[in-house]
Structure 1
Amino acid sequence: MERDENRSTAGLGVGLPFIEVGPSRGRIALGACPGKVASLVEDLDRVAHWGAAAVVTLLGDDELNALRVPQLGAAVRERSLAWYHLPVRDMSAPSRTFEEGWRQHGAAIRSLLLSGSAVFLHCNLGLGRAGTLAARLLVELGWQPAEAIQAVRKVRPGAIQSRAQERHVLGVQHRR
């Protein structure tokens, strides 16, 4: 089930578009980097108020510095949310380095979703990298790849921006 909550989240660019996952009704939300437009505090408060249990950051340290939010991880943890920092290059599919981090943290993120919790994924704009990971999570949780891509693009038009990102999702295998 896809939804687009149209609450005011000016700094995140849009409402928090999300996809419900399975009978537990876990939620995957996608958005722009907190602090990109509005203040980091306001954006993270919105994410926490929405009910996120975790934030997954797909930006590298250089991008966080350029966006003037190098303290993002600490600010997430101050709100008692789990923070996963798994950088992916802009417009690219996840790299070997990402995969190493995913082997360490992917099961925990899937477990949150299967238990009914909400996870907020972001990159710079919440489209390419965040969309790719959202679709990947859906496939890993049992969705068909094409169905996962379609669901993500329905709630976040323009998501999964490059052919490499789309091919990545199409090659993902179901796991729990």
Structure 2
Amino acid sequence: MSFRPLALPPGIAGRVWLSPMPGRLQPWDRFVADARAAGLTRIVCLTPREEITELSPDYATAIENHTLPCQWQALPMRNYGVAQELQGFKAGVEEMAVALGGGDVLLLHCAAGIGRTGTAAACLLKRLGLSTDAALQQVREAGSNPESARQSGWIEAF
């Protein structure tokens, strides 16, 4: 399985996995099998639609045709950047936190599963009660990390 687990604070019912974009670095059917094996209930996509279409046509088709193996949540961020507006991003992170509290199994991804994924994961961990330093440590241990000063600042301000 190509998913990397993100350690969550104690008492959180759900689970979070980090990954590159579905279907980008592996065949689409392999992603679907991995998603089912991991028990995914929600994919949180951090890439804009045009980037998905360019990098993973099978994923774009599954989104368009509503044939994903689970629920889909869009929380787009620019590559090496952040979301266009903080309030919408905060609402998306809150939605993830509530879903985790209910036992959902989330997959966070951007194109490579590193910068935007690490940024969103660190913000989620902060929402779940971790300090910035602890959140970044957990994200790094899971193989992701913010990749720009803007992303790091976004986490600090969250």
Q: Would you say same fold, with TM above 0.5?
A: yes
| Amino acid across the alignment from 1:35 | G
Give 1:24's match in structure 2, choosing from 12, 22, 25.
12
For 1:132-160, what per-residue CA distance to the aligned partner results, in whole angstroms no more than 9, with x for missing partners? 00000010111111110111011115x21
1:100 Cα deviation (Å)?
A: 2.4
What residue identity is the alignment partner of 2:156?
L
Of 78, 82, 88, which residue of structure 1 is paired with 2:77? 88
Structure 1 residue ranges without an equivalent (≥5): 1-7, 10-14
Over the matched positions of the two proteins, sequence identity in percent amounts to: 24
**Structure 2 residue 26 is matched with structure 1 residue 38:** yes
After superposing on structure 2, the runs of 4+ consecutive aligned residues of structure 1 that deviate more than 3 Å are 74-78
Q: Secondary structure at the match of 1:156?
A: coil
Q: What TM-score, normalized to structure 1?
A: 0.79
Structure 2: gaps of 5 or more residues: none
Query: Residue 60 in 1 paired to residue 16 in 2?
Result: no
Distance 1:108 1:77 in 2: 22
Shift of 1:44: 2.8
1:54-133 aligned within 5 A = 54-67=42-55, 68=57, 69-74=59-64, 77-79=67-69, 81-96=70-85, 99-100=87-88, 102-103=90-91, 105-133=92-120
Contact persistence 1:17–1:31 (CA under 8 A): no
**RMSD, aligned CA:** 2.1
Q: Greater RCO between the two (CA within 8 Å, min separation 6)?
A: 2
Q: Could you tell me whether the CA contact under 8 Å between 1:30 and 1:126 is conserved in 2?
A: yes
Alignment TM-score, normalising by the size of structure 2: 0.87
